[in-house]
Chain A
Amino acid sequence: MKLWLDTLLVLLILTNLKLISSSRLSACIRVVAMQGILLSLVPLLVGAGHLSLRMVLLSALTMTVKGMVFPWLLLKVLRTASGSREIEPFVGFTTSLLVGVGLLTASFWMGRQLPLPVPSQSSLVVPLALFNTMMGLFAIISRRKALSQVLGYLVMENGIYAFGLAFALEEPLLVELGTLLDVFVAVFIMGIMVFHINRELDHTDTDRLSILKD
């Protein structure tokens, strides 16, 4: 079980590096969809052998929302958006990859500083959560398109969610569902906003959203 979990976590780490080095928005959306599906398998593997109904339900919901609904929604927004579908980052792809590797090292280092609550759990969980969070933040600040900022937010949220799935095992279901619902509505509203930005301004470059300043 631990081996499977470790493999899954390594795959999740790789999706982040893939995301940061892809140039097409549609490819990025697919990578985030892949990440959502991988993430939805985590609850099935952390239960140390026995599957509870709660875990299966959570897994199914995560897969539906993060693996299917979000990518569908974002691809729909992308199709309606005119203009370039390239990422056009502020930071180049090679530099981004290097930053990614640096952040990965940093997350492993930080992960080692914090003792694990459940010793049998994979030692990759804390680094993965930190790595995803930092990569998400990096994607938000280094990418120009509004859609890629939404993707960055999703990646960040995925990392935090992975952490929650792995450790806060006995978190009441109500809270998990509430979290998932909030993120769902957030992405939904963000999608609508991207649509409006595109309709109103004929572009979705966030660096050109700069009328308001002091």
Chain B
Amino acid sequence: MILTLVLLPVLAGLVAFFLRHAPTRRLLLVLTALGHFGLTALAWVRRPAPALDDWLLMDAPGLLFLSIASLLFLVISIYTLGYLQREDWGRRQDFAEAFLFSNAREPSFTVCLLIFLGMMTLVTVSQHFGLLWVAVEATTLASAPLIYFHRHSRSLEATWKYIMICSVGIALALLGNFFLAVAATLGEHEYVPLLLTSLIERAASLHMPWFKGAFLFLLVGYGTKMGLAPMHTWLPDAHSESPSLVSALLSGALLNCAFLAIFRVQQVAVAAGQGPYGRHLLLGFGLLSMAVAAAFIVRQADFKRLLAYSSVEHMGILALAVGLGGKAGFGAMLHAVNHSVTKGMLFLVAGNILALYRSKSTADIRGVSRKLPISGALWVVGFLAITGSPPFGTFLSELVILKSALDQGRTAVAVAYLALLSIVFVGMGSLMLRMTQGQPAGLPVEQSEAGPGQAVAAPARLSVRESWLSVLPPIMLGSVALLLGIYVPPALRQLLEQAAKAVGAQ
């Protein structure tokens, strides 16, 4: 069953490669996403049996992050249908620099999307640190062509930075893996498999200096992929230049996968009695990430970069929350879910705005609410949700984390956390709300020849009809974000608690 989960998207990807008929291929994408989601839902009812000598096993953290990725992928695959339909496949003009470019071929795009899903699934169910590494690196490789979908110089630069920085980071994680192997061998004087369960069992006899080295390398390595400052430099570029649905996947699902890898290492650290060591480091990286993100969010000129820096901020919150431990552990798990659905929704809406305005400038765009009534409303809702306003889920999870910091008597951390959250709130608020209000402005000038500019040629006052394929997916994600703020289902609460317990939190 676990194997089916991993192999289903990969095999579907192989089939998609040979399908010449575009509608069939798109249908296959949605059906695979649906099948994957169904299998994941089944795992909630009954946990699947371990496979491959316990190398693949679904524990609470794994199931949680798998569910996030699967839900997000399903919703995004529906959005993709509309996206691929409205994409112009010939050569066309770039809106920023006016050179001509074309897209990557659609089959390879679909193939990479599906393999990307398969590899993310593998990350969530891997219990062996070596296999986990292979899977995390594979997610980088599968997603690099997705970022280079629009073939022009900016996306090329973004992809180059993404693949170079992440590969180097993940190579450091490989060194960390070997350090971990040495730590295990030295302590036990015999071979210990790098399985999470067996490492936790014999954690007390790990050789501590080597283990601490391993922890550092793994944290820096996977932290690069997760977007923790100061290793986050690839993230704003990749998120701003890739198609919006890919940004949504990167932000909502991929960053979580890297977080899960760090979470696994922290599980071993806790069992080895090095919990405080790991927590200190995570706390430091978390606060730094929040600070760096806040500094770049204020006065950000590009709204997709704005969302990307917001992802850096939220990854910082996750690291900070695990670093705090205690009740914040539960908060971290809940926050991971909230952030993924909210950020996924925001990126999809950003895609709608970008498609109409053909600009990413926060300074020029005005009147989104009038031109795109539904997307405009969703943009405001998304802003409130991502900055942790009630009644959305993020409010709840950020509050749990704050309360835990105060309960532990760490006033300085709590104050810094609150201050940074407020800066981000004000920064994002002023930029995002300004975009929605006022008379529509910043629209592309009318183009004389018929083509991609057709929709724009309508009078500026009139709102544009939005296709349900472009607004329904963000509405779905938005409702989940809202629902989680009002009511956390008992099954989810139980899973979140189990996951938090894995790192010794409550």
Interface of A toward B, CB cutoff 8 Å: 114-115, 117-118, 129, 133, 137, 140, 146, 149, 153, 156-157, 160, 163-164, 167-168, 170-172, 174-175, 178-179, 181-182, 185-186, 189-190, 193, 196-197, 200-201, 206, 209-212, 214
- Does B296 lie at the interface of the complex (its beta carbon under 8 Å from any beta carbon of A)? yes
Docked pose: A149 CA to B210 CA in angstroms: 29
Q: Is the CB of B134 within 8 A of A163?
A: no
Q: Is the CB of B171 within 8 A of A185?
A: no
Q: Is the CB of A209 within 8 A of B210?
A: no
The B289-338 residues at the A interface (CB cut-off 8 A) are 296, 300, 305
Contacts of A172 in B (CB 8 A): 128, 130, 193
Q: Is the CB of B161 within 8 A of A209?
A: yes
CB 8 Å contact bits of B123-140 with A (1 = contact, 0 = none): 000001011011001101
Contacts of A118 in B (CB 8 A): 185
Q: Given A140-B168, A189-B145, A212-B157, are A160 and B178 neighbors across the interface (CB < 8 Å)? A: yes
Contacts of A178 in B (CB 8 A): 130-131, 134
Docked pose: A175 CA to B172 CA in angstroms: 16
Docked pose: A209 CA to B160 CA in angstroms: 9
Q: Which of B148-156, B392-400, B469-477 lies at the interface?
A: B148-156
Q: Is the CB of A214 within 8 A of B305?
A: yes
Q: Is the CB of A153 within 8 A of B168?
A: yes
Q: Is the CB of B182 within 8 A of A214?
A: no
Q: Is the CB of B167 within 8 A of A186?
A: yes
- Does B159 lie at the interface of the complex (its beta carbon under 8 Å from any beta carbon of A)? yes
Q: Is the CB of A175 within 8 A of B164?
A: no
Contacts of A193 in B (CB 8 A): 144, 148, 156, 159-160, 163
Closest CB-CB distance, B214 to chain A, in whole Å? 11
Closest to A156 in B: B171
- Does B480 lie at the interface of the complex (its beta carbon under 8 Å from any beta carbon of A)? no
Q: Given A137-B168, A156-B171, A168-B182, are A175 and B131 neighbors across the interface (CB < 8 Å)? A: yes
Closest CB-CB distance, B242 to chain A, in whole Å? 12
Contacts of B207 in A (CB 8 A): 115
- Does B240 lie at the interface of the complex (its beta carbon under 8 Å from any beta carbon of A)? yes
Which 3 residue pairs spanning A and B have beta carbons closest together?
A: A175-B130, A178-B134, A168-B181
Contacts of B381 in A (CB 8 A): none
- Does B497 lie at the interface of the complex (its beta carbon under 8 Å from any beta carbon of A)? no
Contacts of A206 in B (CB 8 A): 160
Docked pose: A17 CA to B164 CA in angstroms: 23
Q: Is the CB of B154 within 8 A of A211?
A: yes
Closest CB-CB distance, B212 to chain A, in whole Å? 11
Q: Given A182-B141, A214-B305, are A196 and B156 neighbors across the interface (CB < 8 Å)? A: yes
Contacts of B191 in A (CB 8 A): 170
Q: Is the CB of A160 within 8 A of B153?
A: no
- Does B6 lie at the interface of the complex (its beta carbon under 8 Å from any beta carbon of A)? no
Closest CB-CB distance, B311 to chain A, in whole Å? 15
Closest to B164 in A: A149
Contacts of B236 in A (CB 8 A): 212, 214
Q: Is the CB of A211 within 8 A of B164?
A: no
The B348-375 residues at the A interface (CB cut-off 8 A) are none
List 19 A-B pairs, Cβ < 8 Å: A137-B168, A146-B160, A149-B164, A153-B171, A157-B174, A164-B178, A167-B185, A170-B191, A175-B130, A175-B131, A186-B137, A186-B140, A190-B164, A197-B156, A206-B160, A209-B160, A209-B161, A211-B154, A212-B157
Contact of B182 among A117, A137, A146, A149 (CB under 8 A): A117
Docked pose: A164 CA to B173 CA in angstroms: 12
Contacts of B175 in A (CB 8 A): 129, 133, 160, 163
Contact of B167 among A133, A153, A181, A196 (CB under 8 A): A153
The B99-146 residues at the A interface (CB cut-off 8 A) are 128, 130-131, 133-134, 137-138, 140-141, 144-145
Q: Is the CB of B241 within 8 A of A167?
A: no
Contacts of A117 in B (CB 8 A): 182, 185-186
Q: Is the CB of A212 within 8 A of B163?
A: no
Contact of A182 among B138, B154, B185, B186 (CB under 8 A): B138
Contacts of A209 in B (CB 8 A): 156-157, 160-161
Docked pose: A184 CA to B134 CA in angstroms: 12
Closest CB-CB distance, B313 to chain A, in whole Å? 15
Closest CB-CB distance, A119 to chain B, in whole Å? 11
Contacts of B305 in A (CB 8 A): 214
- Does B213 lie at the interface of the complex (its beta carbon under 8 Å from any beta carbon of A)? yes
Contacts of A211 in B (CB 8 A): 153-154, 157
Q: Is the CB of B209 within 8 A of A114?
A: yes
Closest CB-CB distance, B232 to chain A, in whole Å? 12
Q: Is the CB of A168 within 8 A of B178?
A: yes
Q: Is the CB of B241 within 8 A of A212?
A: yes
Closest to A196 in B: B156
A133-B175, A175-B133, A214-B236 known, 20 other contacts, Cβ within 8 Å: A114-B210, A156-B168, A156-B171, A160-B171, A160-B174, A167-B181, A171-B194, A172-B128, A175-B128, A175-B134, A179-B134, A182-B134, A185-B141, A186-B137, A186-B141, A189-B141, A193-B148, A193-B159, A209-B156, A211-B153
- Does B158 lie at the interface of the complex (its beta carbon under 8 Å from any beta carbon of A)? yes
Contacts of A185 in B (CB 8 A): 138, 141
CB 8 Å contact bits of B179-219 with A (1 = contact, 0 = none): 00110011000010110000000000001011001000000
Closest CB-CB distance, A157 to chain B, in whole Å? 5
Docked pose: A209 CA to B154 CA in angstroms: 8
Closest CB-CB distance, B94 to chain A, in whole Å? 12
CB 8 Å contact bits of B82-95 with A (1 = contact, 0 = none): 00000000000000
Q: Is the CB of B240 within 8 A of A182?
A: no
Q: Is the CB of B157 within 8 A of A190?
A: no
CB 8 Å contact bits of B411-443 with A (1 = contact, 0 = none): 000000000000000000000000000000000
Q: Is the CB of B182 within 8 A of A190?
A: no
Docked pose: A157 CA to B154 CA in angstroms: 28
Contacts of B154 in A (CB 8 A): 211-212
Closest CB-CB distance, B186 to chain A, in whole Å? 5
Contacts of B145 in A (CB 8 A): 189
Q: Is the CB of B157 within 8 A of A171?
A: no
Docked pose: A132 CA to B167 CA in angstroms: 16
Closest CB-CB distance, B187 to chain A, in whole Å? 10
Docked pose: A51 CA to B151 CA in angstroms: 49
* Residue among A157, A175, A178 with max Cβ neighbours from chain B (10 Å): A175
Docked pose: A156 CA to B168 CA in angstroms: 8
Docked pose: A68 CA to B421 CA in angstroms: 52
